Each structure stands twice: as C-alpha cells, then as structure tokens.
Amino acid sequence: MERERRSYQEMERLGYPKSIDGNHAFIKACDEDLRKMIDQNHGLIKAHDEEMERIKQMADDMFTMEQESMGHCFPHKRRKIEKLLLMSEIINLRHNKMMNEMALLEADERMSILAQEHQTEKDEFERRIKELERKVDDKRVEEVEIQSLKEEIKVKPKVEAIEEEEVKVKEEEA
C-alpha cells in the first residue's frame, strides 16, 4: 500500500492527470508509461540479443579458424577462445536472468494496476448500492406516510360521526 501511495505521489509530481472519478486517468497514464518502458526494454533486449549472437558467432568462428589453422600447436590460444565462449555463456545466463526479472516486474506492475482498477470498480458499486438502499428506504417511508394518511382518511369520517352523535346526545339531554 505504501509503495502504491509513493507511486501515486511520484506520478502526481510528474504531472500526470487525474480525473473526477479518482485515479482512473492516472492509472491509464501509468499503464501507458509502463507499456512504453516495456517496449523500450524489449528494444534494448533485442539489440543485446543480436550483439550477443554476433559475439558468440565471432567466437565460434575464431575457435574454428584457430583449430583449423593452428591445430593443437597453440593451447594458450585455444584456452583464450574457450574462455571467450565461457564468457559468452555467462553473459547469456545473465541476460536470461534479467529477462525473468523483467517479466516478474511487468507482471507485478500489471497486477497492481488491475488491483487498483478492481478496487475503483468495487468502490463505485458499493456507492451505488448505498444510494439505491437509501432510495428504497425513502420510498418505504413515503409508503408508510401514504398508508397512515389513508387510515386517517378512513377513520376521520367515523370520528366525525361519533362526535356528531355525542353532540346530538348532549343536545337531547339538554
């Protein structure tokens, strides 16, 4: 939660827009920026992959040429080439590790955005439910008032009739 708050503060500091309904535009802006960074990262990774393939191919070519031309006369050259191949493998492993970490980061960011969107929708639904419940309660109160008025209308003529009879009885007695 703290990480999200810091992220919001950073995005506000950078001037990302907010909409009336909260962070919806903010989330979209974050999502767009994340996509741009991912695309840039993929471009860098592709360039890195191409460079690594080129280096590996050069090392393979050098190794093959050295073996063919020199035979086994120069073991130090062969060791140098083997060292280059080993370094190439290490670089590939580091690259794969970086790719895995990036994939995890991308998934984490996307899950965070989805969670924020889900919370926004949930809050909106809860607000609408409360509003509808309030309207239903208001309608029930009005129905009770109407029923009370109807009962009063039914009772009033009877009360008036009883009062008139009491007045007649008092007049007759007097």
Q: What is the pLDDT of residue 135?
A: 95
Is 32 a residue whose pLDDT tops 70? Answer: yes
Q: Tokens 């290490």 appear where?
A: 90
Q: Measured between alpha carbons, how far is 58 from 61 in angstroms, rounded to an integer? A: 5
Q: pTM to 2 decimals? A: 0.40
- The per-residue DSSP string of 17-39 comes to --BTTBSHHHHHHHHHHHHHHHH
Q: Measured between alpha carbons, how far is 157 from 96 in angstroms, rounded to an integer? A: 92
What is the sign, positive or negative, of the torsion defined by CA atoms of 135, 136, 138, 143? Answer: positive
Are the C-beta atoms of residues 63 and 72 closer than 8 Å to each other? no
The residues, any chain, with a CB within 8 Å of residue 49's CB and separated by 6 or more, are: 95
- The per-residue DSSP string of 144-156 comes to HHHHHHHHHHHHH
Give the confidence band of 4 by pLDDT, cuts at 50, 70, 90.
Answer: low
- In the structure encoding, which two tokens stand for residue 73, read together? 């006369």
CA 81 to chain centre: 49
| Mean pLDDT for the stretch of residues 36-43 | 83
Per residue in 40-92, pLDDT (tens digit) is 888 888 888 888 888 888 877 777 776 666 555 566 777 787 888 888 889 98
Q: What angle do CA 142, 148, 153 make, to 5 degrees?
A: 125
Give the confidence band of 121 by pLDDT, cuts at 50, 70, 90.
Answer: very high
Q: Which residue has the higher pLDDT, 9 or 132?
A: 132
Per residue in 137-154, pLDDT (tens digit) is 999 999 999 998 888 888
Q: What is the pLDDT of residue 139?
A: 94
Mean pLDDT for all residues in the chain: 80
